[in-house]
Structure 1
């Protein structure tokens, strides 16, 4: 059940016969999304979306009530990541399952090795207009607090929006690391204020904190402030 205002996401099993049972049990007003492991194609997503819609209708829920967060975890699926990310409107987020992907590619799930596949999935997510989930590395070593902090900070710079984890002690590190800092908020506010002043004077670029500022940087600042407002609102609801 939901605690402190958090949305509930249920991870289902991958074998189809178990997935069907999980869908039937999990899809409900209390569940916001389903986490689908080992997605292998766009048609796989569409099949499960049809199943979800049928169950939603049978339970009197609006079609599309339960969104999908999907994991690409094999080399074969990775080759289709763009079409998977755009497979269905119900997809909310996509990520790369580090441990299974490393197994599939006979590699080691370390940050330098996962950098390309993780970034590739993040780019596919942004191209599809959905969230990029995960960290550049593995969350298996949940006792390495310093390592997780560093990985989260790096992953956010690469365009990731959040991550799942396997232990509750990692949750505060993820919440902190993926949230804008006070320093970032202050810098973004200065950028927007300076740009608005320049625009009123008929100029399209300015210098703020010793850096040239133009439209893409202003839009990035606006996005950061929107994220900061949302995260602070959620934190207030949870307190």
Structure 2
């Protein structure tokens, strides 16, 4: 059987949700500046429309890929729809698969076993389908390390701000979500994977100043991207998670200065009155690798 050309996971800043049952959204999404379009089979699709949305999925993905968009799919987490969603995924054309309301590493391992079967049937490289668990509950936050280590397929973690805040009985804000976001950033850093989201409401698309402030806080915590539900949020996310030219120039100078120091047998260097050592160089290389 012929080997398919696969789309591997790539770091991205901005992810935009569109419902799989709204073709007019699909048509608009191809022209937007989001790095990844997430075709949603879960919350934004009513129960009666899920079968129809699932059947439309391959065509939606093909249309977006023709517009040179990276495409992810958010599947349903309940058993009634989970297997059917996985079977419907055009795996060879996906950036990643989002797993909603993730609470247990065991469920991820079960999904991975089925993905192994599906990939083998389609002559895909084993393990090529990337996964992004969405953490939307207190249990999910408390079990983050186990979840992140459940499979090498996991390339990112995403915070589900609204659901998590609702379980806490609070509004989605830095006051209620900061600790969870810090925990996610730490776990993502440990696993060398992306952390996606913000300590605030993902649904805020009118007060963009407030939304941008939450994004800045997420970036400061170590997050590398965020999820959007409205096109007006896209420029905010792209600005927040793009290193400035000044930052990139600084990073290049750090790498060059340290390289010269190492040639002279030194393990540290001085640049503009700041000591440079291995951690600073690691940050500089990360900045250069991201842009």
TM-score (ref. length: structure 1) = 0.88
Q: Which whole-Å deviations, capped at 9, do the CAs of 1:24-44 have from their partners, x for residues lacking one? A: 112432222111101110101
Residue of structure 1 in register with 2:125 after alignment: 62
Aligned partners of 2:142, 2:103: CA distance in 1, in Å?
9
> 198, 206, 215: which one pairs with 1:152?
215
Residue of structure 1 in register with 2:78 after alignment: 15
8 Å contact from structure 1 (residues 11, 35) kept in 2: yes
* SS of corresponding position for 1:8: strand
Q: Which whole-Å deviations, capped at 9, do the CAs of 1:70-92 have from their partners, x for residues lacking one? A: 11111122221110010011111
* Unmatched runs of 5 consecutive residues or more in structure 1: 229-239
After TM superposition, the structure 1 = structure 2 runs for residues 44-55 of structure 1, keeping only pairs within 5 Å, are 44-55=107-118
Aligned partners of 1:90, 1:43: CA distance in 2, in Å?
14
* Equivalences, count: 228
Aligned partners of 2:260, 2:157: CA distance in 1, in Å?
39
> 183, 195, 202: which one pairs with 1:132?
195
8 Å contact from structure 2 (residues 109, 150) kept in 1: yes
8 Å contact from structure 1 (residues 194, 208) kept in 2: yes
Structure 1 residues 90-99 or 207-216, which shifts more? 207-216
- Kindly state the Cα deviation for residue 209 of structure 1 after the two structures are TM-superposed: 2.6
State yes or no: 1:169 paired with 2:240: no
- Kindly state the Cα deviation for residue 173 of structure 1 after the two structures are TM-superposed: 2.1
Structure 1 residues 183-192 or 201-210, which shifts more? 201-210
* SS of corresponding position for 1:2: helix
8 Å contact from structure 1 (residues 67, 90) kept in 2: yes
- Kindly state the Cα deviation for residue 216 of structure 1 after the two structures are TM-superposed: 1.0
State yes or no: 1:43 paired with 2:139: no
State yes or no: 1:109 paired with 2:202: no
State yes or no: 1:206 paired with 2:269: yes
8 Å contact from structure 1 (residues 27, 55) kept in 2: no
Aligned partners of 1:198, 1:55: CA distance in 2, in Å?
51
Residue of structure 2 in register with 1:197 after alignment: 260
Greater relative CO, 1 or 2 (CA 8 Å, sep 6+): 2
8 Å contact from structure 1 (residues 85, 128) kept in 2: yes
- Kindly state the Cα deviation for residue 13 of structure 1 after the two structures are TM-superposed: 1.4
Q: Which whole-Å deviations, capped at 9, do the CAs of 1:75-133 have from their partners, x for residues lacking one? A: 12222111001001111111221111111122221012211111101111222232111
* Unmatched runs of 5 consecutive residues or more in structure 2: 1-63
Aligned partners of 2:255, 2:283: CA distance in 1, in Å?
10
8 Å contact from structure 1 (residues 95, 122) kept in 2: no
State yes or no: 1:94 paired with 2:161: no
Structure 1 residues 129-138 or 53-62, which shifts more? 53-62
Residue of structure 2 in register with 1:83 after alignment: 146
- Kindly state the Cα deviation for residue 4 of structure 1 after the two structures are TM-superposed: 5.0
Aligned partners of 2:258, 2:139: CA distance in 1, in Å?
46
- Kindly state the Cα deviation for residue 3 of structure 1 after the two structures are TM-superposed: 5.8
TM-score (ref. length: structure 2) = 0.73
